[in-house]
Amino acid sequence: MAGYFTFFLLIFLVNYSNVSNANKLNISFFLITLFVGLRYGIGFDYFSYYQIIQDNNLETEPIPRMLIDVAHNTHFSVFFFITSLWTAGFFLAGLKKMNCYPESTLFYICFPPLLCASFGLVRQAMAYSVIFYLMCHPDFKMKKKILFILFISGCFLTGSNAQSIAVKSNLLYDATSTLNMGVELGLSRQWTLDVPLNYNPWKPGNGRRLRHWGIQPEARYWFCERFNRTFVGLHGHYADFNVGGFPDWGFISKNMQDNRYQGYLYGGGISIGHSWILKKRWSLEASLGIGYAHIVYDKYPCAECGTKLKSGRRNYFGPTKASISLIYIIK
């Protein structure tokens, strides 16, 4: 416990020191890599990977397979150090793209699918970090991002010991004409990884718009067994948005009725949910979540006007997730 406290204290001091932003990232990257990469015996799959590396007998995705081969021929700790270097590097590079200071590394250590997954879900954390960097990169178009996410999933997630795979659609998003699909992977008897993606390209009439796309990966712990009954989750989220003309929501501004807001947000939170089995492969799931989002936006006077009124940032605390999902379990 003293080690965790010291690590968090060092990260906090670095990010609120007088050094430059670039040095804050570099020092934090060094501390996170050492803390996660040089651990011993921490993480529920640590000793599983240790045995796999010693025996060199796991058939898995190409990049983890290569790292296991390297560690088998050198030292088992090389695997954990390289995966830590990879995860921290891509995630902090993504935050650097968004110019998030000093919240960047503080967000990392509080972002469940990354720091926590770095200890216990090594391959999934590597995939998360690349996807997060991709989401933060302003030069990638939406189609390229989706294609690259599918590629990364194939490199890291297809062989993740998922005894079950489920696909789902959030009926609440469907009600707003938002295209959405989620994939949930069974990681163990009581752990799953949920990755929903949503996209709304439409322009409804009367000056309203709810254009956005977003991703909200979540690590879930099921009290009974995966895909059955009650669970708690830790999630992160990222979204690009272009919204306006709706009654005042308040999460961006108090005058959304008469203005349009365009920008992005990121954050994390916690959730609780329950799943009801309907038939052999069909289920219904409901969940609610609360958390934090940092919102960066440009304000425009109307839905079609191009004259920017101002730019702003806002920290939001409140509901971050609501879902009623229809689920089909593939296997």
- Hey, what are 171's tokens? 């009926």
Where do runs of H (alpha helix) occur along the chain?
A: 2-15, 21-37, 46-55, 62-73, 76-97, 103-110, 115-120, 122-136, 142-156, 171-175
The model scores a pTM over 0.75:
no
CB burial class (10 A; 0-12, 13-18, 19+) of residue 45? middle
CB of 189 closer than 8 Å to CB of 169: no
Residues 28 and 12: their CA atoms lie apart, in Å, by 9
Provide CB contacts within 8 A for 302, sequence distance 6+.
Answer: 207, 244, 258, 259, 260
Write out the chain's pLDDT in tens, 331 residues.
Answer: 566 677 777 777 777 777 777 777 777 778 878 888 888 887 767 788 888 888 877 666 667 777 888 888 888 888 888 888 888 887 777 777 766 555 555 555 555 455 555 666 777 777 777 777 776 666 555 545 555 555 555 555 555 444 478 889 999 988 888 889 888 888 778 888 898 988 888 776 666 777 888 889 898 999 988 888 999 999 988 888 888 766 655 556 666 667 788 888 888 899 999 999 998 889 999 999 999 999 888 888 775 666 778 888 888 899 999 999 999 887 6
> Which domains occur in the chain, in start order?
2-136 (no CATH), 162-329 (2.40.160)
Provide CB contacts within 8 A for 75, sequence distance 6+.
Answer: none
Residues 5 and 2: their CA atoms lie apart, in Å, by 5
What DSSP designation does 81 have?
H
Residues 214 and 42: their CA atoms lie apart, in Å, by 32
Q: Among candidates 210, 218, 120, 121, which has minimal Cα distance to 168?
A: 218
- Hey, what are 116's tokens? 């926590």
Cα angle for residues 229, 127, 20 (degrees, 5° grid): 115
Residues 166 and 8: their CA atoms lie apart, in Å, by 36
Pairing of the two strands 229-244 and 209-215: antiparallel
Predicted local confidence at residue 249, as pLDDT = 58
Residues 301 and 307: their CA atoms lie apart, in Å, by 7
CB of 187 closer than 8 Å to CB of 118: no
Q: Among candidates 217, 105, 245, which has minimal Cα distance to 153?
A: 217
Predicted local confidence at residue 251, as pLDDT = 58
Dihedral sign (CA 243, 199, 277, 189): negative
